[in-house]
Amino acid sequence: MACTQFLSRIQRPRLAYHQTPGRSPGVVFLPGFMSNMNGKKALGLEELCQFLGQAYVRFDYTGCGESEGSVSECLLGDWKNDVLCVLDKLTAGPQILIGSSMGGWLMVLAALARPERVTGLVGSAAAPDHFLTAFKNLPAETKQEVEKTGIFKLPSIYSDTGFYPVKYDFIKEAEKHCVLNHPIPVDCPVQLIHGMEDEAVPWQTSLQLAQQLASKDVDVILRKTGDHRLSDQTDLELLKATVQVLIGKVAGKV
């Protein structure tokens, strides 16, 4: 495996990344919350892009994985800016963004900010607005406790404690980036894969996202036995096949 590289930024922590040179359109993988660039999906897509000869970038958000910074000090807007920085500094030409969970939210924000660069989206259990939705579904007394303590214990079976601590400041800032409460002016092809046994983000979220997108070229693929991670072998093969089809579609328009 190639050595990790670091993207230096003025007055910002360095971002860790791996880059595979190749042809256009390029592919960029966006990890989920508390995840990193070394997961099965990120590495599987790297293998696919190497086989196809496509340019590919996987990276860690600020405070995550091998990147510098503190995750407890980050806001969603910081991670959005990380994605835009990677697009601006490490890629050229049209790009297909693959977003896992929270990365599926960030890919939409990036497509809105860089419509001339983002020419395709693939969501794997995409989780737009998820932190806000989870918070708003809490009982009133629990919300008051979160506001008082400043910490929201986001339930997760993937945490040793059964939850991830999320600062209330993170929740409040994330309100600026909600996308499901209005039409989304993104016109590129979009593929959304979601497991119907997702214990973290309901599969209906992908349907709602599909409805709000302006693009007419949107498909939702539901995996009847798929969980949130969608990382078993059959799920990975579906993801790679979906990405490969989208690469062909976008390449035909370049």
Which amino acids are annotated catalytic? 101, 198, 228
User: Percent of the chain, pLDDT > 90?
Assistant: 95
Q: Is the pLDDT reported for residue 142 higher than 80? A: yes
Mean pLDDT on 80-86: 98
Question: Tens of pLDDT along 153-205?
Answer: 998 998 999 999 999 999 999 999 999 999 999 999 999 999 999 999 999 99
Residue 254 has pLDDT above 70, yes or no: no
pLDDT at 152: 95
Would you state the pLDDT for residue 112? Answer: 98
Q: State the SS3 of the chain.
A: CCCCEEEEECCEEEEEEEEECCEEEEEEEECCCCCCCCCHHHHHHHHHHHHHCEEEEEECCCCCCCCCCCHHHCCHHHHHHHHHHHHHHHCCCCEEEEEECHHHHHHHHHHHHCCCCEEEEEEECCCCCHHHHHHHCCCHHHHHHHHHHCEEEEECCCCCCCEEEEEHHHHHHHHHHCCCCCCECCCCCEEEEEECCCCCCCCHHHHHHHHHECCCCEEEEEECCCCCCCCCHHHHHHHHHHHHHHHHHHHCCC
Q: Kindly report the pTM of this predicted structure.
A: 0.97
pLDDT digits (tens, 9 = 90+) for 224-239: 999 999 999 999 999 9
Cis peptide before 13 (omega within 30 of 0): no
> Is residue 145 predicted with pLDDT exceeding 80?
yes
What value does the mean pLDDT take over residues 139-152? 95
| Mean pLDDT (the chain, rounded) | 96
* pLDDT bracket for residue 2 (50, 70, 90): confident
pLDDT, tens only, 106-135 = 999 999 999 999 999 999 999 999 999 999
Q: For the chain, what are the domain ranges?
A: 5-129+182-251, 130-177
pLDDT for 98 equals 98
Give the percent of the chain with pLDDT over 70. 99
- Cβ atoms of 205 and 178 within 8 Å: the answer is no
pLDDT in tens, 18-34: 999 999 999 999 999 99
Can you tell me the distance from the alpha carbon of 25 to that of 189, in angstroms, rounded to the nearest whole number?
13
44 C-beta neighbours (distance < 10 Å), count: 19
CATH class of 5-129+182-251: alpha beta
pLDDT the model gives residue 252: 80
